Chain A
Amino acid sequence: GIQVEQSPPDLILQEGANSTLRCNFSDSVNNLQWFHQNPWGQLINLFYIPSGTKQNGRLSATTVATERYSLLYISSSQTTDSGVYFCAVDVGWWDTDKLIFGTGTRLQVFP
């Protein structure tokens, strides 16, 4: 099955710093989503981005589907950005769209 790997596994930043999280996947995908899992376990949708570039405030994401990777950029990080970031991909077609999650990047932002 498809492999989804994220890097780095852990990231420690001081408030105000910028960071780039990477997601590599081993096969063609129909969907790619980025999530932020907060300390209470809630998965928060950040981006639905099977290809191209999107921006939402301090966050932006780029997916290069032909090269099988996606990047999540966090600028001017805040303590509330702490948590685990997951990318998840879907390889199914007509009758399934289950998400396969990556290994996650744990981000800690200190004041």
Chain B
Amino acid sequence: DTGVSQDPRHKITKRGQNVTFRCDPISEHNRLYWYRQTLGQGPEFLTYFQNEAQLEKSRLLSDRFSAERPKGSFSTLEIQRTEQGDSAMYLCASSLVSFPRRPSYEQYFGPGTRLTVT
């Protein structure tokens, strides 16, 4: 089992460009989450998927952000028309949720994609 992977690990882009990040969860995990972490802060929740369905989006996820998980496996996070305020570490996590559902499940994080917008 290889854990959660993310690609790329680093991305430098100019303001106004579009960027896309990829996350591959732990293979048997059915739930996938995106978080964002700015310097000196803890990660903040952005959105999550149960299989291919996007079930919740944070208010932090503006219209310029879109996330997909088309086949219920890997996920992509796209940022359009990047702004300097988008510079952050973007973290992906996954968990295995079974039914009947227990209250909560352990989440495992990938290494993150560090975005710098110049």
Binding site for B on A (CB under 8 A): 30-31, 33, 35, 40-43, 45, 48, 50, 86, 88, 90, 92-104
Q: Is the CB of A98 within 8 A of B89?
A: no
Instruction: List the B side residues contacting A100 at CB < 8 Å.
Output: 45
Q: Is the interface of B mostly helix, strand, loop or mixed?
A: strand
Q: Is the CB of B105 within 8 A of A96?
A: no
In this complex, how many residues of chain B approach chain A with their Cβ under 8 Å: the count is 29
For the complex, is B85 an interface residue (Cβ under 8 Å from A)? Answer: no
Binding site for A on B (CB under 8 A): 31, 33, 35, 37, 41-45, 48, 55-56, 58, 89, 91, 93, 95, 97, 101, 103-109, 111-112, 114
Q: How far is the CB of B46 from chain A (nearest CB, A)?
A: 9
Once A45-B108, A98-B33 are accepted as A-B contacts, the answer to whether A93 and B42 lie under 8 Å apart by CB is no
Instruction: List the B side residues contacting A93 at CB < 8 Å.
Output: 103
Q: Is the CB of B106 within 8 A of A43?
A: no
Q: How far is the CB of A64 from chain B (nearest CB, A)?
A: 17
